Amino acid sequence: MSGRIQRRLTAILAADVVGYSRLMGEDDSGTLSALRQLRSDVFSPTVSSHNGTVVKSMGDGWLVAFDSAADAVNCAIKVQMALSNHALIRLRTGIHVGDVTHENEDVFGDGVNIAARLQEIAEPGAIVISDIVKRSVDGKLASVFKNLGFQKLKNIAEPVAAFGWGMTGVKVTPATRTPPDKPSIAVLPFDNMSDDPEQEFFADGIAEDVITALSRFRSLFVIARNSSFSYKGTSPDIRTVAGELGVKYVVEGSVRKAGNRVRITAQLIDATSGNHLWANRFDGSLDDVFELQDQITEQIVVAVEPEIEARERERARRKPPESLDAWELMQRGLAHFYRINKADRTEAIRLFSEAVALDPEFARAHAHLAYALLSLVTLGYAEDRAAAMASSRAAAERVVSLDPNEPLAHFTLGELHLFAGEIEMAIGKMQTAIAINPNSAQGYFGLGFAYHYGAGEAEQSLPHYDAALRLSPNDPMRWMTLMLKGSALRLLGRYAEAISHCRQACQFPDKGFLPYMHLTTALAEAGHISEAKAAVQMAMQLQPAFSIGFIRERFTGIHPTVLQSLLEGLRKAGAPEK
């Protein structure tokens, strides 16, 4: 290999003689003799029998390259066992798999550096391997290694998940990470509680799919599968996991099979306190494993994301105003945004504006600002409607330039297209929001809204409203979907269902006047005029400017048939013209 440079994925074993300088000081000739015998009788033949190549010998240590991680691990164990009763020589060993540069019979690269640093934290007679090594060997061999957590290694930027063999004495202190500003979450591998090993794949599939689905929410920082799965087969303390991975929240669960039925449990834990925030149990049939896996994943995700969002708003609410960062300013803004009145909506916009001023690159805060500005128009709070819509569009376009995969920006642009009468473009934007995050209730709501209000296709809107309701069991804006599904049902002449949905929307706190407006029209069309008159009075109390002219002016872009039906229903209930 002399004179040639090669770069390839290699398993590197780093071994070091414990207390070499002391041994040499006490008996240099005896130490050298013992090392020569170790090399000739144990180390070299064991390396050779496991297809390894000694690429560097340093007197008191060796670097050995293997094409197979299993060969490297088996070689290390055999050497350590051979030396377990040696009177003089003990070795520390570290193994890592990584890209390694081979040049002039030497090796360089992170694979070498990490193996050497893992060797430094090993106890005498022990082996420490990285998570990639553990994942590269079979389950039986991997099971003999104890989880040491994430270790901060000297001169290595990121902590490394480490596992030890023979680590029984000195306690190795795991590295800790500071969680990012936005909510961070790890999904641990789900425990297979069944006797059937085939369920291991099902359990892993659930956890992997939850990780993927949560990663689509731009408001969450989700730990990658390789890091969270380093805890597979262990029972870690949740607070330890939080420190090692740098997360505030952890999802864990289990899978148990009985005949053709399977039971999955899942829970969301506040990792800083250890408190359970949410837990549920899911039962299903294994007739279609993949469909069941998809259903369970969706149900876990749609429960976990809003629960975290609510907890983050509460955290921000408890902090003094002068200490808020951009993320916390946005969370406080959301708390006001979800209360439908002019004062709260104005305060939400102020807080979102402060967030983007503090962090101009914060795409999510720009997105909420864009949507809040647009809502001033639809709720009748904007003094200058054209200016509010222009500011909303500018903020949404800024988001797309910062983060093209922010679904709320595409949703807001979709509504702007809708109000401008650009129906196909509106539908396209809503479809983009869904493509970015298929678990986005807001995206499905927006698509239903575009078909319903923009295209006048009430029947086509219903499946999208239903998807939004399925995906938003705990969404504070769920009332909007109930209300608009009720409106679509009214257009289809399904008055009893329409009234039921609108009444449900009216039960939500802080929902403003809109649900009462739609309840009014549903009651009026069903012939319940006295109840319709009571509902329109509620709408007028919540929005003193409410009138038929007020609605006509603000519901721009609405399909003529939909608008006419809405206004006629309001007239039947006695709503004022101006």
The CA angle 196-201-203, to the nearest 5 degrees, is 85
- Compute the average pLDDT of residues 522-541: 95
Is residue 1 scored above 50 in pLDDT?
A: no
Q: Residue 2: pLDDT above 60?
A: no
Cα 425 from chain centroid (whole Å) = 29
Distances (CA, A) of 326 to 190, 364, 518: 34, 10, 37
- Mean pLDDT over 30-48 rounds to 91
Q: How many CA atoms lie within 13 A of 401 on its CB side?
A: 9
Which pLDDT value is given to residue 496?
A: 96
For residue 130, the model assigns a pLDDT of: 93
Identify the residue whose tokens are 């986005």: 440
Selected residue with higher pLDDT from 384 and 289: 384
Q: Which residue is listed with tokens 């250890």?
A: 274
Fold of 5-165: Alpha-Beta Plaits (3.30.70)
CATH topology of domain 319-404: 1.25.40
Residue 24 pLDDT more than 60? Answer: yes
The full set of domain ranges for the chain reads: 5-165, 184-318, 319-404
Strand partners for 62:
15, 57
pLDDT of residue 161: 86
CB 242 within 8 A of CB 250: yes
CB atoms within 10 A of CB 547: 16
Looking at residue 142, its pLDDT comes to: 85
Identify the weakest region by mean pLDDT among 208-217, 347-356, 497-506. 208-217
pLDDT in tens, 54-66: 988 887 889 999 9
3-state secondary structure of 359: coil
Top mean pLDDT of 187-196, 321-330, 439-448 is at: 439-448
Average pLDDT on 323-334 reads: 89
Query: What mean pLDDT value characterizes the chain?
Result: 89
**Cα distance from N-terminal residue to C-terminal residue, the chain:** 89
Angle 385-389-390 from CA coordinates, rounded to 5°: 115
The answer to whether domain 184-318 has CATH 3.40.50.300 is no
- Which of 37-43's residues contact partners 24+ apart within 8 Å by CB, and which partners? 38/83, 38/86, 38/89, 42/79, 42/82, 42/83, 43/15, 43/79
Strand 249-258 and strand 191-192: pairing? parallel
Q: What percent of the chain has pLDDT over 70?
A: 96
Of the candidates 372, 308, 311, 370, which has an alpha carbon nearest to the alpha carbon of residue 337? 372
CA distances from 558 to 382, 517, 526, 552, 567 (A): 19, 16, 23, 9, 12
Q: 155 and 188 in contact (C-beta within 8 Å)?
A: no
pLDDT computed for residue 196 by the predictor:
74
pLDDT band at residue 138 under the 50/70/90 scheme: confident
Whether the per-residue pLDDT at 384 is higher than 70: the answer is yes
Give the list of residues 6+ apart from residue 380 with CB closer than 8 angstroms, or none: 543, 545, 546, 550, 554
pTM score of the predicted model: 0.73
